Structures are given as structure tokens and as C-alpha cells.
């Protein structure tokens, strides 16, 4: 089971933890159950934000090396977007408190999945986003601004190495 970094940002305070495909799939599905989620692809380097529509389903299948996102547009048309699971480099969840016009504060969350191709020289990063479209009036503004504020969280983490371990030659180095 592959482990990758998951950046967590809460009001500018960031942390990183290990994430697996089943955990991430459950996290996104739970968020989708709580309300209509707008989804799409974000690429700030190219000043590009593409809205796919409402997120209907997501499947992260490590064995078949694919991620399948099912979306629905406003006219009811369903689409499937597929990408390679092994290109998933990091995921994020960002929570920020937003002050509404009536003086109320609302905690708003956006989830991100970032895919980077295997060839760093030729690859471009693509980041899928998932944001509740019912809670606030301008969710896409939050998608972009949250990413600007916290998109680097966890990128320096490397969970590919195993934790504590004893090398096979350790016993020979002990003087008795």
C-alpha cells in the first residue's frame, strides 16, 4: 500500500500526515455526502481553473493504477475523468474561517488532489479540487485563495522511507 503526504491547513497553521488511497477516498466521499461538491482542475502556474461540475463519485484504485472521478454538469450530463493513481503526489485539506456579511464566522473546507507525471522535465502538475457549492456564494474564490495560501504544505515530506529500522549489518558493529 502506497503512502503519500497529506497537507492539512487550518487558518494558516499547517501540518502533514501519512495518507493512503482508502483513507483519501473515504475522506472525499464523506465530504460529498455532506453537500453538493463542485469539482475541477486548478493550475495557477497557467492561471487556469476548469470546473468539471458536481462531484458524483470518486474511486482511487491503487491495484489498477487509476483514479476515476465522475461528475455531472448543470444540464445533467455525466462525465468520467480518469488519471493515473501512481501520479498522485500529495493531497490537501484546507479549512479557513470566513467572516460572512452578517458578522458570522463560517469554517469552509476545500480538498485537493495533486497529480504530477513521472517525468519531472516534461510533466505539468494538475490539481483536482473539491469544494462545497452550497455553503458560500463564491466557492471558486476560496478554491483559488486557499490554494495560494496553503498549497505548499507537506510538499517537503517524504513518507517513502520506512520508519525505524535496523540495518542487517548492525549486529556486526556492536563490540562485545
Domain with residue 82: its CATH number is 2.30.29
Q: Note the pLDDT of residue 163.
A: 53
Output the pTM of the full model. 0.85
- The answer to the question of residue 93 being in a domain is yes
Q: CA–CA separation, 121 vs 170, rounded Å?
A: 39
Could you list the beta-strand ranges (E) of the chain: 4-10, 13-19, 37-43, 48-61, 66-72, 78-84, 88-99, 105-115, 126-132
Q: Are strands 88-99 and 4-10 parallel, antiparallel or unpaired?
A: parallel
List pLDDT tens digits, range 47-73: 889 999 999 999 999 999 999 999 999
List pLDDT tens digits, range 66-109: 999 999 999 999 999 999 999 999 999 999 998 877 788 889 99
Handedness of CA 13, 91, 107, 102 (dihedral sign): positive
- The answer to the question of residue 9 being in a domain is yes
- The answer to the question of residue 137 being in a domain is yes
- The answer to the question of residue 157 being in a domain is no
Amino acid at each position: 500500500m502506497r503512502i503519500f503526504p497529506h497537507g492539512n491547513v487550518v487558518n494558516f497553521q499547517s501540518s502533514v500526515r501519512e495518507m493512503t488511497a482508502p483513507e483519501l477516498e473515504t475522506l472525499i466521499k464523506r465530504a460529498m455526502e455532506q453537500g453538493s461538491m463542485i469539482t475541477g482542475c486548478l493550475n495557477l502556474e497557467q492561471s487556469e481553473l476548469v470546473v468539471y461540475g458536481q462531484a458524483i463519485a470518486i474511486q482511487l484504485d491503487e491495484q489498477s493504477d487509476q483514479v476515476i472521478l465522475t461528475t455531472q454538469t448543470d444540464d445533467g450530463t455525466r462525465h468520467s475523468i480518469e488519471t493515473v493513481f501512481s501520479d498522485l503526489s500529495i493531497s490537501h485539506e484546507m479549512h479557513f474561517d470566513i467572516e460572512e456579511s452578517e458578522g458570522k464566522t463560517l469554517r469552509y473546507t476545500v480538498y485537493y488532489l495533486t497529480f504530477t507525471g513521472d517525468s519531472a522535465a516534461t510533466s505539468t502538475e494538475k490539481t483536482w479540487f473539491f469544494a462545497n457549492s452550497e455553503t458560500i456564494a463564491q466557492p471558486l474564490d476560496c478554491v483559488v485563495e486557499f490554494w495560494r495560501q496553503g498549497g505548499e504544505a507537506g510538499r517537503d515530506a517524504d513518507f517513502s522511507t520506512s520508519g525505524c529500522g535496523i540495518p542487517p549489518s548492525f549486529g556486526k558493529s556492536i563490540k562485545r
